[in-house]
Amino acid sequence: MVTTNPLDVMPTMSADLVRVEGELLASVTSQDPYLTEIAGHLIKAGGKRVRPGFCIAAAATAAGSDGVATADIIKAAVSVELVHLGSLYHDDVMDDAITRRTVESVNAKWGNLKAILAGDFLLARASEIASSLGVEVAGLLASTIARLCEGQVLELRFTYDTARTEDAYLRSIDGKTAALLATASRIGGIVAELPSEQIEALTTFGHAYGMAFQVVDDVLDLVATEAELGKPAGHDMEEGVYTLPVLRALASDAGDELRPLLTDHMTADDRARAVEIVAGGGWITGAVEVARSHAARAVEALDRFPSGPGVDGLSAAAAHLVDSVEAAAAR
């Protein structure tokens, strides 16, 4: 199925995202130009801006909305992207990552200590902006940062553990990824002062989309090309992060051949063979099915609301997500 690009459904989104870019860069200005440069590094590198996009689209689900974001919605969009950025700075330190968003990672360029501090600075700016939007938004963003930490700790606890359960995997991605996408949509609804039923539906949408998004990200790590990933397929296994298709392969008859390959000293040959085993046994298709069911749940959450730029944009984003992974998995 070929789905519509969400940006075509919400024509006002591109101009709103330009406003987000300007405010993102302004928000990380420090009295120290050196910190400004480090904090702006990954903003300038790009990124898909899914979280600000959700915040803006969620607000645009308001009855009669023309889709154009208010100044407060742009602030909300900036605050959720800053939290995402802060988590990327810290994540790259943990993984010793060399690249991010196609450029040199902050830790590779400036070292771990400055990457950690600049990540803290981004979170501080996010909190400052959120507090200007009211206590509810500030509290929600703070509890979401805690959820990200919980999800990440749950991942670390099972690194290189071939006995990691599917439930432990799902709880981890719920925290490290779905929580912020749920919050991005919810904050859009709160700031736009939508009815509470609609805010709950938007939260469910963002959460279900977030679960699908991480499963898709994990599938892509196994099926995308090295050129697309900027690293060889199977990198997560090399890092000891065993994701849904790998866990299902481990639980099957193929487990006996796969398990000995999954070590903290995996060679390039081990990695290639492990990818072959996981990709050859139908576990990719199974994981894509899981992503599809979360994406369907996301779309369903919005089906009580009349069609309009916001609802249509969010639904198109969910359909587009599954479409893109199906295309990659079918290659």
Report the C-alpha gap between 192 and 156 in whole angstroms: 37
Q: What separation in angstroms does the CA of 227 have from each of 174, 232, 260, 269, 302?
A: 28, 8, 28, 19, 36
What span, in angstroms and rounded, lies between the C-alpha atoms of 149 and 16?
A: 30
Closest C-alpha to 252, from 218, 223, 277: 277
Closest to ligand GRG by CB, 48 vs 331, is 48
Chain-centroid distance, C-alpha 120: 19
Q: List the structure tokens of 19.
A: 């406003």
Residue 324 has what DSSP assignment?
H
Cβ closest to ligand GRG, residue 59 vs residue 216: 216
CB 105 within 8 A of CB 92: yes
Q: Can you tell me the distance from the alpha carbon of 231 to that of 122, in angstroms, rounded to the nearest whole number?
A: 27
Query: Is residue 101 a contact point for ligand GRG (CB under 6 A)?
Result: yes
CA gyration radius, the chain: 20
Taking contact as CB under 6 A, which single stretch among the options 3-11, 79-87, 159-167, 258-266 is the one that binds ligand GRG? 79-87
Is the CB of 65 or the CB of 107 nearer to ligand GRG?
107
Give the count of alpha carbons within 13 A of 217, CB side only. 13
Binding mask 33-52 for ligand GRG (x = CB under 6 A): --------------xx-x--
The answer to whether 81 touches 331, Cβ cutoff 8 Å, is no
Cβ 168 to ligand GRG shortest distance, Å: 16
Quickly count: other Cβ atoms within 10 Å of residue 30's Cβ: 15
Cα-based angle 173, 178, 183 (whole degrees, multiple of 5): 150
Judged by beta carbon, residue 108 or residue 149, the one nearer ligand GRG is: 149
* Residue 86 lies near ligand GRG (rule: CB under 6 A): yes
Taking residue 147's Cβ as centre, other Cβ atoms within 10 Å add up to 18
- Interaction mask 119-158, ligand GRG, x per CB under 6 A: ----x---------------------x--xx--x------
Q: Which of 43, 74, 78, 88 binds ligand GRG (CB under 6 A)?
A: 88
Question: 68 vs 149, which CB is nearer to ligand GRG?
Answer: 149
By CB under 6 A, residue 182 contacts ligand GRG: no
Does 107 interact with ligand GRG (rule: CB under 6 A)? Answer: no
Stretch binding ligand GRG (CB under 6 A), from 78-86, 158-166, 198-206, 244-252: 78-86
Q: What are phi and psi of 252, to 5 degrees?
A: -100, -175
The label of the residue with tokens 């994981």 reads 287
Is 176 a binding residue for ligand GRG by CB under 6 A? The answer is yes
Is the Cβ of residue 221 or residue 270 nearer to ligand GRG in the bound state?
221
Question: Per CB under 6 A, does 187 bind ligand GRG?
Answer: no
Closest approach of ligand GRG to the CB of residue 255, in Å: 27
* Residue number with CB closer to ligand GRG (101 or 273): 101
Residue with tokens 């392969």: 249
**Count of other CB atoms within 10 angstroms of residue 211:** 23
Q: How many residues bind ligand GRG (CB under 6 A)?
A: 20
Note whether 177 binds ligand GRG by CB under 6 A: yes
Closest to ligand GRG by CB, 83 vs 325, is 83
First to last CA, the chain: 15
Site for ligand GRG in 196-235 (CB under 6 A): 214, 217
Q: Which amino acid appears at position 183 of this protein? A: T
Q: Please identify, among the stretches 22-30, 70-78, 87-95, 254-262, the one whose residues bind ligand GRG according to the rule CB under 6 A.
A: 87-95
Q: Which residues bind ligand GRG (CB under 6 A)?
A: 47-48, 50, 83-84, 86-88, 90-91, 101, 123, 145, 148-149, 152, 176-177, 214, 217
